[in-house]
Amino acid sequence: MNKQPMSQKTFRDTDMQAVIGWILRLGVLLSMSIIFIGGVIYLYRHGQAIANYHTFKGIPDFVHNIHGILNGIITFRGQAIIQAGIILLIATPIIRVIFSAIGFVLEKDYLYIGITILVLLIIMVSMLSGHAG
Amino acid sequence: MMSVIVLTLILFIGSYFAGLLGSLTGLGGGFVIIPLLTLVLHVDIHYAIGASLVSVIATSSGSAAAYVKEGITNIRLGMFLEIATTAGAMVGALIAVYIPTNFIAILFGIILITSAIMSLRKKAELINQEKNLLAEKLKLNSSFPTPNGPVNYTVKNVGGGFFMMGFAGIISGLLGIGSGALKVLAMDTIMRIPFKVSTTTSNFMIGVTAAASAVVYLQRGYIDPGLSMPVAIGVLLGALSGSKILVHTNSSGWLRWVFAVVVTFLAVQIIYNGFIGKI
């Protein structure tokens, strides 16, 4: 089993669990509130429109890039606000990983600092390759 | 033809139950969301995968917040295995473009049936305490709280589990599901981790895994806001109800049966539609 001094380590691990739980809760709460607000606006404006998702056409330009989304938020476009909430939701577990890295730095756990950074790198490569594809 | 508001309401209610079942069984909500969207509402499978991924992240993060607080989740184990799942998810999302949609549908059905069968296995709560050098080096061994005090456990077959997690990641990225069943299989059967720890740690990893492929799908236009909105909210509320039940009770045996039957029925439908080329 573990040969490290348990008392200090256990304390820090519990701390990290508290922080991670807190980040996940905050991220989900915030992103869901944004999605909900955007949803209300979207339904109010487009609720009576006919839904058409039979064939894949991608998504409208104004929710497909950061510039369009920011513009959409300023002009209160429901779908842009929802998309901003979705991006925050996707970012939440990634932010959790970043905070785990900080936690491992505080614990001076070099092995897990490396592992956490590797996970972040993989996600970054994924993001860039998605852009290229 | 359906108006946006009617579709939103149907999606919200369906997603609530998907989230509830997914959380109670540890398999994730995606298993019900994709069939609901494609079979019942005739939504294109690309949009279905996108909306499902968003719901998977909401479910995972929402209930992980509760589990992490209880101290059951093994964060180091999750972190280590996330190397395999995120790399797999990236590969899955990238190759998804080159795979015909009806093949994706058939693969989805097969994974669905496999997961349903696996969720019915008898869970013998064996606590592994054999020494394992690699698990010790990686600090994967830990303990979890029980009413009779903390129970120590060790992790077996680290390499095999890691490899299986890579596969779970590919499936997750390809199909837009959490692959919870494959993750639990890797941890239960291969690594001999106690059931409660494997369920919660799998759930903890699902969010990051899904995020790794969601960043690809987001840029490809799979994630439609109008569709994802009721799905994400519904699944999250369902999952929160589910996690409250799971933390406070121990028996969900009959629910697994209900879930397995529903899921097998949906799987057969999806495979059939895949074969006749309707998906």
pLDDT in tens, B212-259: 999 999 999 999 999 999 999 998 898 888 777 765 555 556 777 877
Asked if the model's pLDDT at residue B7 lies above 70, the reply is: yes
Distance of alpha carbon A47 from alpha carbon B3, whole angstroms: 7
For B94, which residue in chain A has the nearest alpha carbon? A130
| Domain boundaries of chain A, sorted by first residue | 15-46+60-132
Range 30-89 of B in CB contact (< 8 A) with A: 41-44, 46-47, 54, 57-58, 60-62, 64-66, 68-69, 71, 73, 75-76, 79-80, 82-83, 86-87, 89
Residues in chain B closer than 8 A to A116 (CB atoms)? 79
Q: At what angle do helices B195-220 and A110-132 cross, to 10 degrees?
A: 30
- In 3D space, the residue among B128, B255, B254 whose CA is nearest the CA of residue B197 turns out to be B128
Residues in chain B closer than 8 A to A35 (CB atoms)? 228-229, 232-233
Of all residues in chain A, the percent with pLDDT exceeding 70 is 89
Residues in chain B closer than 8 A to A58 (CB atoms)? 220-221
Number of domains within chain B: 1
Q: How far is CA A44 from the centre of its chain?
A: 27
B74-81 mean pLDDT: 95
Q: Is the CB of A123 less than 8 angstroms away from the CB of B218?
A: no
Asked if the model's pLDDT at residue B28 lies above 80, the reply is: no
pLDDT in tens, A43-63: 999 999 998 898 898 998 888
Residues in chain A closer than 8 A to B40 (CB atoms)? none
* A29 at interface of B, judged by CB pairs closer than 8 A: no
| B127 CB-near residues (< 8 Å, 6+ apart) | B151, B152, B153, B194
- In 3D space, the residue among B277, B77, B54 whose CA is nearest the CA of residue B197 turns out to be B77
Instruction: Please give the residue range of the domain that contains residue B228.
Output: 4-275
Tell me the torsion sign for CA atoms B23, B63, B73, A122.
positive
Give me B251's structure tokens.
Answer: 């028996």
Distance of alpha carbon B180 from alpha carbon B246, whole angstroms: 16
The predicted pLDDT at position B275 comes to: 92
* A1 at interface of B, judged by CB pairs closer than 8 A: yes
| B203 CB-near residues (< 8 Å, 6+ apart) | B26, B59, B60, B63, B64, B67, B73, B180
Give the global pTM.
Answer: 0.91
Residue whose structure tokens are 């959380």 = B23
